[in-house]
Structure 1
Amino acid sequence: MNAPDRNEFLEKNNLVPFNLADFYKTGHPSMYPKATTKLVANFTPRSAKYAPVLRELFDDKVVWFGLQGFIQEFLIELFGNEFFRKPKAQAVRKYKRRMDTALGPDAVPVSNLERLHDLGYLPLEIRSLPEGSRVDIKVPPVIFINTHPDFPWVSTYFETVVSCESWKPSTVATIAFEFRKLLTYFANLTGAPLDFVNWQGHDFSMRGMSGVHDAMRCGAGHLLSFTGTDTIPAIDYLEDHYGADADRELVGGSIPASEHSVMALRILLTLQRLERDPAHAALEPKALRRQAELEVVREFVTQGYPQGMVSIVSDTFDFWNVMTVVAKELKADILARKPDALGNAKVVFRPDSGDPVKILTGYTDEELLHSNGVLAVSEAGKYTVKATGESISEAERTGAVQCLWNIYGGTTTAKGYKVLDSHVGLIYGDSITLPRARDIMLRLASKGFASCNVVLGIGSYVYGMNSRDTFGYALKAIYAEVGGEAVDIYKDPATDDGTKKSAKGLLRVEKEGDRFVLYEQQTVGQAEGGALVPVFRDGELLVTQSLAEVRERLQSSWVCPEPGSISWA
């Protein structure tokens, strides 16, 4: 599909290094002044005005992550295998065919690529801040500089693929850290163990991301802040590109868990068998189904997983029956389960529908209808929600955490907040956002429960609902040398609100206190200093960073506010 001679054997296109661009980039090398010998570009998060963050905790910083993996995958492996280590004619053939078929024969010359192939390496230097750094908005965490005067265009040609592969891992890593901030704050407020925060944000996003590669790179960004994940390839990615070793360190983990297909099949199969038993002939269909669900959950906690941890999705039919009847009927069985090697023997119930805030924490009295100054309760024991007129049960009013507490009890933290017995817990992973997570934490605390009573599954509803504009990432040229003359390049559109105004000239980034500060229009000597250090040059990776280093850098970059110091909107 890529040979000019249609009689020639047709091979797959696969990834063609110089095809990883917008078409308009292909014409730019010849558009720069012919005497251009140097070009410098920067990649910058320009704005947080669209960021789905909590303003009480967000401090206008983004987590810089993903460059090392990008360099290894694309600039070293892909360019080596598909360009520099191939014969020159073969290396440029697919590129030329694509340009000819899309833009017209010889509309884009291949002479630049042929000369680059003769050179034998990618004449590009990349300077970066350390990954895991939290970089201030409008400060570039990375710059690109050509290292050979004949190839200035390499600094900006890769804008498209750099942006395409870099904005999202960094964005997801930032949002994950915002979740970690929130959960750390409430752990401190309620006296919950801080170690539990590592597991309290769990990555449920893979199935909703834009492909496996997207999921693994973004899942790796999540794992900078947490260790809970269901995105298996994220662990593989961190081992392949960030020196992680799951045999020697905790990269990421999960627990056995059921899904609706498993529960529905087993419940309905059990139901059919109960229906055939004359002993159950007097039971109504709903009662019979509840009996079937009880038996299935009993099998899970006593036979399938008699020790350690297991998560059971619990809303296949009647979540509140599971919380009030099944959980009570199986109390002895659940408390008798044996711990695993780590001392865990927990059954985690998973609701998966409804309003997560209300499901976990219930309703406040102010949200329910009153009569003569007291809560209005119908003869059927139902309450009425003011906002909707909906009738709810006592269990719904109470919330899942309180339901389990009423059955299993537990302990209290040093700060007086209740923690469920270690044999039971809850995880909710349907449409959890930062505002919803905040509301869950606030309402649990107001009811006297510690934050560690729930784990939050963070899915593609958060990690996938972003774009390059979430933090305004853009790669722009900032400096050139043309015939020995230096030019400070910048853009400042009169029709823009200032977001698109770019940095100007050679730059330097300095770490000053807990901030990164940008200095523009620097001399050549000044631009050699600062926090941006060369990590890639002429086809070689100069600096390697491990997952452990990146995690430590990120997690030590923030000091949690004092408990009670935040006034939540």
Structure 2
Amino acid sequence: MTIANRNFILNADSYKASHYLQYPPGTSQVSSYIEARGGEFKQAVFFGLQMFIKEYLARPITGGDIDEAKTVFEAHGVPFNEKGWRYILEAHKGYLPIEIQAIPEGTLVPVGSAMVQVTNTDPNCAWLTSYVETALLRAVWYPTTVATVSWHCRQVIQRYMQETCDDIEGIGFKLHDFGARGATTEEAAALGGAAHLVNFQGTDTLSGIMAARRYYGADMAGFSIPAAEHSTITAWGRENEAAAYANMLQQFAGPGKLVAVVSDSYDLWNAIDNIWGDELRGKVEASGGTLVVRPDSGDPVTIVTETIERLMNKFGYKVNGKGYRVLPDYIRVIQGDGISQRTIEAILEAMKQRKQSADNIAFGMGGELLQKVNRDTMKFAMKASAAKVGESWREVYKDPVTDRGKRSKKGRLAVIRDGKGVVKTIGVQDLGQRVNLLHSVFKNGRLTREFNFDQVRINALQGAVAEGEQLEAVV
């Protein structure tokens, strides 16, 4: 059974149905844009629009869709623009007569920058630009917010790796996506999981891998390893905890292999000091691969630093070129409980204070990555900024005296990099010879520009801002 709505006419807020009767007479075009107005981050990694275009806009509406929408809206108590939708079906074969412009996916921009601009291409369909707001804004704000959260986590991890590691070669596997089971739907897991993979390569969210594969041509965007859960350990019984661990090594360990074992089902310190560090120490050292010990309860900062310290007491360590201690290559730690950008930084800072290198740790992030975000995390909005009424364009904007943070942009827009590389949103009339970063990606039913996943990742990596460099959004 599926509850997904495949009738695009019904993929909207109810009040959108009456808006076609509300524009000034003679309105032939409306131009709207999407931006993140602020919130928790100063920069945003734009991602996800291509998935929406391929899944929803590449297919035409049908007569059956119109019939269904008419029945629903009339019973629902709102007007239905049957004439307008039948015009789209007949004149455009059901494909939406709109053009969507967007900055390249993966691009890092300051909040307050236009990311997307939408305009109707048929003067008979000026109402359509704002009608798509509900679906289009949702398609942009969620994956962009997840990509942004993930990107900022990467900046924190990279900073500590640069301070405490000889190199940052392994950074792509330092934050693993554990969020699939906490996402509201499978589609959310797919969108958010793919967004995380813009910045990292570690994931247990198969839906995200499939989204990157289907919509961005990524053969394999993310990787995982064999790992234990509590049930596969506790099913052996408490008295056989060591045998459960030994089985994990027997089944999955070997030269060049990694295996993760949750080790706090009963007593984490006993597991480290007596089982891993004594009874099974020889097997761990001789495996030729890497055992990843996973604590899963307690205060993350205290647990991680103590876990690493106890493992060093049992397995030893080396001091790297930066003067920080590193466990032997055959043993590492992953913390997947209570992980957020804030706790990642707190853990890494505590490790630094104890001269423990960030090489020793990887993180798994679940709800904080895919679920504990909403449209207001970055204050996303889609607003009309221009309308052509009669023969001329007029500026369309809101400027509420009660909340100046909701002031919207005016006119048709362009996005540029100035001479210093600073991203700015300007009026299209001021573009001149400069390159507009808003490129057409969809027009009248056709994807006009396509990105592969490698390009998206490169854009995000290139957007890593040097320390002290400023991004600026101009309203």
Q: TM-score per shorter chain, which class?
A: over 0.9
In structure 2, the residue matched to 1:101 is 75
Displacement of 1:139 in angstroms is 0.9
- 1:110 corresponds in structure 2 to 82
Match of 2:398?
A: 491
For residues 106-130 of structure 1, give each alpha carbon's deviation from its aligned partner in whole angstroms, at most 9, with x where no partner exists.
x324111011111123111111111
The one of 114, 120, 125 aligned to 2:99: 125
Give 1:365-444 correspondences, 5 Å limit. 399-444=306-351
Describe the superposition over 1:148-193 as per-residue Cα deviations: whole angstroms up to 9, x where unpaired.
1111112111100112222110001001011110111111101243
Distance in 2 of aligned mates of 1:191 and 1:474: 40
Distance 1:197 1:37 in 2: 51
For residues 545 and 419 of structure 1, the distance between their equivalents in structure 2, rounded to whole angstroms, comes to: 39
Cα shift readout 1:414-441 (whole Å, capped 9, x = no counterpart): 1121111111111111120111111111
Change in 2 beyond 3 A, CA 1:330/1:318 = same
> For 2:119 and 2:333, how far apart are their aligned partners in 1?
51
Match of 1:534 among 415, 418, 440: 440
2: CA distance between counterparts of 1:222 and 1:67? 15
Give 1:179's aligned residue: 153
Whether the aligned pair in 1 keeps the contact of 2:253 and 2:290 (CA below 8 Å) is no
Separation in 1, partners of 2:16, 2:203: 38
Identity %: 31
* Structure 2 match to 1:257: 227
| Secondary structure of 1:29's aligned partner | helix
SS in 1 for 2:163: helix
Q: Distance in 2 between matches of 1:237 and 1:478?
A: 32
Secondary structure at the counterpart of residue 221 of structure 1: helix
- Between stretches 107-116 and 63-72, larger displacement belongs to 107-116
CA deviations on 1:48-88 (whole Å, 9 max, x unpaired) are: 2xx2x6xxxxxx110000011111111113xx2xx1xx4x3
Q: Which amino acid aligns with 1:355?
A: D
Alignment partners' CA distance in 2, 1:306 and 1:438: 32
Residue in structure 2 matched with residue 311 of structure 1 by the alignment:
260
AA of the residue aligned to 1:440: I
Residues 506, 524 of structure 1: 8 Å contact kept:
no
Tell whether 2:56 aligns with 1:74: yes
Asked if the contact 2:416–2:436 (Cα under 8 Å) also holds between the matched residues in 1, the reply is: yes
In the alignment, the residues of structure 1 paired with residue 447 and residue 248 of structure 2 have an alpha-carbon distance, to the nearest angstrom, of 50
Alignment of 1:37-436 (within 5 A): 37-48=28-39, 51=40, 60-77=42-59, 80=60, 83=61, 86=62, 88=63, 90-103=64-77, 107-119=79-91, 120=93, 121-246=95-220, 251-266=221-236, 268=237, 289=238, 291-303=239-251, 305-306=253-254, 308-328=257-277, 329-338=279-288, 345-361=289-305, 399-436=306-343
Alpha-carbon distance in structure 1 between the residues aligned to 2:37 and 2:179: 26
Match of 2:385 among 454, 465, 478: 478
* Aligned-partner residue type, residue 408 of structure 1: F
Q: Do the aligned partners of residues 524 and 158 (structure 1) sit closer, same or farther apart at CA in structure 2, a change above 3 Å counting? A: farther
Query: Residues 302 and 333 of structure 1 are in contact (CA less than 8 Å); yes or no, is this contact kept in structure 2?
Result: no
* Mean CA deviation greater in 329-338 or 523-532: 523-532
> What CA RMSD, in Å, does the superposition of the two structures yield over aligned residues?
2.0
C-alpha change, 1:527 and 1:161, in structure 2 (3 Å) is farther
3-state SS of 2:218 partner? coil
Assess, with a 3 A threshold, how the Cα gap between structure 1 residues 419 and 514 changes in structure 2: closer, same or farther: farther
Match of 2:455 in 1: 549
The answer to whether the 8 A contact 2:218-2:452 is kept is yes
Q: Secondary structure at the match of 1:229?
A: coil
| Partner deviation per Cα, 1:426-458 (whole Å, 9 max, x = no partner) | 111112011111111111111111111011101
Work out the CA distance in 2 between the residues paired with 1:173 and 1:314. 31
- Confirm or deny: 8 A CA contact 1:418 1:450 kept in the other structure: yes
- The farther-off stretch of 460-469 and 139-148 is 460-469
Q: Match for 1:319: what amino acid?
A: L
How far residue 485 of structure 1 moved from its aligned partner, in angstroms, is: 3.1
Q: Which position in structure 2 is the counterpart of 1:278? A: none
TM-score in terms of structure 2 length:
0.93
Alignment partner for residue 26 of structure 2, among 7, 14, 35?
A: 35
1:460 to 355, 367, 377: 367
| Distance in 1 between residues matched to 2:141 and 2:57, nearest whole Å | 17
Verify the 8 A CA contact 2:252 2:258 in the aligned structure 1: no
Give the structure 2 partner of residue 280 of structure 1. Answer: none
State the shift of 1:515 in Å: 2.5
Q: Which amino acid is the alignment partner of residue 285 of structure 2?
A: L
Mapped partners of 2:76, 2:372: distance in 1: 32
Give the Cα separation in 2 of the matches to 1:488 and 1:529: 23
Mapped contact 1:507–1:527 kept (Cα < 8 A): no
Classify 1:405/1:561 alpha carbon distance in 2 versus 1 (closer, same or farther; 3 Å): farther
Gaps of 5+ in 2: 469-475
State the match for 2:8 in structure 1.
17
SS in 1 for 2:398: coil
C-alpha displacement of 1:524: 9.1
1:63 and 1:537 map into 2 onto residues whose CA distance is: 23
Give 2:17's aligned amino acid: T
CA–CA distance in 2 between the matches of 1:415 and 1:528? Answer: 44
Residues 228-250 of structure 1: CA deviation (Å, up to 9, x unaligned): 0000121111111112122xxxx
Q: Check conservation: 2:117, 2:413, Cα contact below 8 A.
A: no
Q: What is the one-letter code of the residue matched to 2:378?
A: F
Cα distance in 2 for partners of 1:143, 1:331 equals 59
> Which structure: larger Rg?
1
Aligned partner of residue 466 in structure 1, secondary structure: coil
- Distance in 1 (CA, whole Å) between partners of 2:5 and 2:80 is 21
* CA distance in structure 2 between the aligned counterparts of 1:152 and 1:122, rounded to whole angstroms: 12
Offset, 1:469: 0.6
| Structure 1 SS opposite 2:406 | coil
Query: 1 CA distance for matches of 2:80 and 2:432?
Result: 38
Contact persistence 2:178–2:205 (CA under 8 A): yes
Contact 2:272 2:310 (C-alpha < 8 Å) held by counterparts: yes
